[in-house]
């Protein structure tokens, strides 16, 4: 139970990084997008900002672009999935304790599935890296936040910054 709550706390802290659609809102949003939740564009920017940051930080070459694009597309897809799950979570009211736990389990499983896809997409990209790029990746992804975050603690529900890494987090219901 405690492990599940820690996983949830991690997922909530990362939700800003994953809550994303396939393109920035300003580039592809239809006129009806004005009725979309205000925070959605911010989440999209977070993922796109992270993709741009990693592209620059890892010094992706033109020869690596196709593998990079596959990796970035997985980040976007994961963001869309997590964004939908967190939107459903926010919309759900008056859940029983059992239903609440089931939602946590669904979010945690989606996160695990998304990370597996991310690893699978990153593997060929990482193997194409020069030794310098591998060192950059090793340092970049070892920082707090890794591939999903921005190298700092994100803000979870209620806008409070996470105080400790997931392994040290104490979650209260």
Residue bearing the bigger pLDDT, 171 or 40: 40
Query: Each residue of 24-50: pLDDT tens digit?
Result: 333 333 333 333 444 555 667 788 999
SS3 content of the chain, % helix, strand, coil (to 5): 70, 0, 30
**Is residue 147 a contact partner of residue 89, using CB atoms and an 8 Å limit?**
no
Q: What is the DSSP letter of 155?
A: B
pTM exceeding the 0.85 threshold for the entire prediction: no
């Amino acid at each position: 139970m405690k492990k599940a709550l820690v996983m949830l706390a991690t997922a909530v802290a990362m939700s800003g990084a994953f809550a994303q659609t396939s393109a920035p809102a300003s580039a592809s949003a239809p006129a009806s997008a004005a009725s979309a939740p205000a925070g959605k564009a911010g989440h999209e920017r977070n993922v796109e900002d992270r993709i741009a940051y990693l592209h620059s930080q890892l010094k992706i070459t033109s020869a690596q672009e196709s593998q990079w694009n596959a990796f970035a597309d997985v980040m976007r897809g994961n963001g869309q999935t997590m964004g939908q799950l967190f939107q459903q979570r926010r919309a759900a009211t008056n859940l029983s304790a059992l239903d609440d736990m089931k939602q946590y389990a669904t979010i945690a499983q989606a996160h695990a599935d998304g990370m597996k896809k991310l690893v699978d997409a990153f593997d060929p990209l990482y193997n194409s890296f020069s030794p310098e790029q591998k060192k950059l990746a090793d340092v970049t992804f070892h920082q707090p936040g890794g591939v999903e975050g921005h190298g700092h603690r994100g803000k979870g529900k209620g806008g409070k910054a996470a105080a400790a890494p997931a392994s040290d987090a104490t979650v209260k219901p």
